[in-house]
Amino acid sequence: MSQFDITEHSHRRFNPLLGEWVLVSPHRSKRPWQGQQESAEKDTRPQYDPTCYLCPTNVRANGETNPDYPATFVFVNDFAALQAESPSGSFTKGGLLRAEGERGICKVICFSPRHDLTLSDMEVQDIKQVVDLWQEQYLELGALEEIGYVQIFENKGSVMGSSNPHPHGQIWAQSSIPGEPAKETEQQEAYFQQNGRSLLADYLALELEENTRLVVENAHFVALVPFWAVWPFETLVIPRRHFQHLGQITEEEKFGYADIMKRLSSVYDKLFQTSFPYSAGIHQSPTDGRDYPGWHLHMHFYPPLLRSATVKKFMVGYELMADPQRDITPESAAERLRGLL
């Protein structure tokens, strides 16, 4: 039997943030694709769209009129998945059927008044204003007694379920800690208790030493393809300094964060020569009043495109029934992304 080669042979990789495994099958990237093909999204939007419910001065579905905002704009989602007025209560039956009332607040953040922009098109100074608003909202919502977690995220592109192409993101603040952040909380706190250091700080040190999965970096942040990546061109943005949440970010780090997001999203657009779709989200410490010294803020980018602007990657078959699985290795994905800088 030949000697094991991580670049050629099937293997499992451990994700220390979630305590889960992913199956990697590098040899499968050579297989031909005869599946569904999609048309690449063409970015031909005007600077202002009179039919867009997010553009300045336009009327939204609930009848309210947007202000003529010059930069960012935030409002409570007109079709919120969580509501602050939801009654508390629970339902149980037979010890197996359980339900609990969940309260929360959902907001929409417009990144820019320009309908035709994305993060990759915006200036660093303008993206920094988005980070300012993220910080403000995290502190404001997290200070509410009934809010235990604040999830900031962006869905870009219709393939990711975005119902409006205007540059915007969302904030869902809720009473409980959602599943993925809850797993990351458990793993990071356990690591900190055992080692007295941040899990992601130690992981970042390994990545900087190995220098094979890095994509782009600056003085304050590093974007890399994580060793345990599931999505074909998934990336993880990690601050070099260990801090728990956006309330602790410095002004210099805000500019560094804005810079890394612009450069990373620009690389994505270059890779597939289209306005690259993705779901991105910030994971940071819960706001339930407890201390989380092991938490290390970070941001995930999950793109669904596989080999071109027309080939998507859905979770199907083995990935739904067993474990996540990927064909394109994190090392080869990072190499392709770096090559476009």
Taking the CA atoms of residue 112, residue 50, residue 154 and residue 255 in that order, the dihedral angle to the nearest 10 degrees is -10
Report yes or no: 4 and 14 within 8 Å, Cβ to Cβ: no
| 292 C-beta neighbours (distance < 10 Å), count | 17
From the candidates 27, 115, 166, 168, give the one annotated as an active-site residue.
Answer: 168
Instruction: For the chain, report the end-to-end CA distance as a whole number of angstroms.
Output: 40
> Which residues are CB-contacts of 287 (< 8 A; sequence separation ≥ 6)?
138, 141, 142, 143, 147, 148, 149, 150, 173, 245
- 27 annotated active-site: no
Beta bridge partners of 93: 97
**Catalytic positions, please?**
168
